[in-house]
Amino acid sequence: MEAAGPPAVILNAERERSVLRGHPWVFSGAVGRVAGEPASGETVRVATAAGEVLGLGAYSPRSQIRVRLWTREPTRAIDAAFFHERVRAAIARRRALLDAAALPACRLVHGEADGLPGVVADRYADVVVLQLTSAGAERWRDAIADALAAETGCAGIYERSDAEVREIEGLAPRTGAIRGTLAGAMAEIVEHGIRYRVDVAHGQKTGFYLDQRDNRARVRALARGCDVLNAFCYTGGFSLAALAGGARSVLSLDSSAAALALARENLALNALDASRAEWAEADVFAHLRGLRDAGRTFDLVVLDPPKFAPTAAHAARAARAYKDINLLAFRLLRPGGLLVTFSCSGGVTADLFQKIVASAAVDAGAEAQLLARLAAAPDHPVMLAFPEGEYLKGLILKKL
């Protein structure tokens, strides 16, 4: 007879190893049976075939990730107080980790790394943008929002639960203000002395790429006297950083007219020379080929494309796209020029990304040195036992 308590997910024999090693997910293939009839997002016990309870997690009947663990303490109550404690601890870690100037624009909660799978919360000045992407996070939506409101004191919390992954969980998209007030769709932040307007209601992800904070500072330090090409520029983060660093010129490419319009607004907010900035709305792949054919060259190229491979199943197709843009970048670089290239695809490992870029250099007939490896800013931590959380990887390369 099953022990009293929440429904239970019983693992197949010898399929508990990854959980015991600290991984927070239980895949459907590891599940032997389900005791009870848990609803989507409901708390379940995770137990070995021998009956040892390994922890408590959120059940997701529609997803290949059948359970996401909340805790490894079998007797822990999963209630509003639990989520408040987790949110409080996550914010305290940011206060200890970041300098005071970064705190008004940082990631407050980063999913599994903060013990809250499927929960992302980003702060933009007096607004917190909340994104919930798992069945468990959706079930505890109100408790999480209440905790964020209490712990930040921000004027408003805006939900951006519109990521495609919600469909896998059987969840409809949801957006809109859920706590407090939001004076318009825009927030304004300051990063390394540069002002940016952030479209929290309609922008990519939660409105801005906070994970690139430190990498924008790296580009700023490299840009003095350079002709810079920023491909997939979005709202101008790397572009403004390069201009602030003393770039001679910056050509910024993006396919989104709305993103480029906001990029121009961001430029106007700052005391930067607009005559050194050129913006082009274009298919980036086609425009890079056009620049190559026109004989344009640059001292510094930044490639920060969107996610080409959300899972490992998409890696082969993504590899072709990454190779194409990096090959073009090497051909557009002057001798001695620098390429700062990124992948935010969880399905492409850091090792595979480096191999793709190396292959692109060979096909471009370029020799290159690897100067540095880049990652997300520290408010986007990675659990040691959860390498899938290390989605952003970057390289700084010098063309010889």
* Sheet arrangement for strand 333-343: 277-281, 249-254, 227-231, 298-303, 333-343, 393-399, 368-375
Give the C-alpha separation, 56 to 48, whole Å.
12
Among 120, 112, 90, 91, smallest CA distance to 103 is for: 91
Write out the chain in H/E/C secondary structure.
Answer: CCCCCCCEEEECCCCCHHHHCCCCEEEHHHEEEEECCCCCCCEEEEECCCCCEEEEEEECCCCCEEEEEEECCCCCCCCHHHHHHHHHHHHHHHHHHCCCCCCCEEEEEEHHHHCCCCEEEEEECCEEEEEECCHHHHHCHHHHHHHHHHHHCCCEEEEEECCCHHHHCCCCCEEEEEEECCCCCEEEEEECCEEEEEECCCCCCCCCCHHHHHHHHHHHHHCCCCEEEEECCCCCHHHHHHHHCCCCEEEEEECCHHHHHHHHHHHHHCCCCHHHEEEEECCHHHHHHHHHHCCCCEEEEEECCCCCCCCHHHHHHHHHHHHHHHHHHHHHEEEEEEEEEEECCCCCCHHHHHHHHHHHHHHCCCCEEEEEEEECCCCCCCCCCCHHHCCCEEEEEEEC
Q: Is 233 a catalytic residue?
A: no
CB 335 within 8 A of CB 364: no
3: how many CB neighbours lie within 10 A of its CB? 12
CB 200 within 8 A of CB 206: yes
Q: Which residues are catalytic?
A: 344
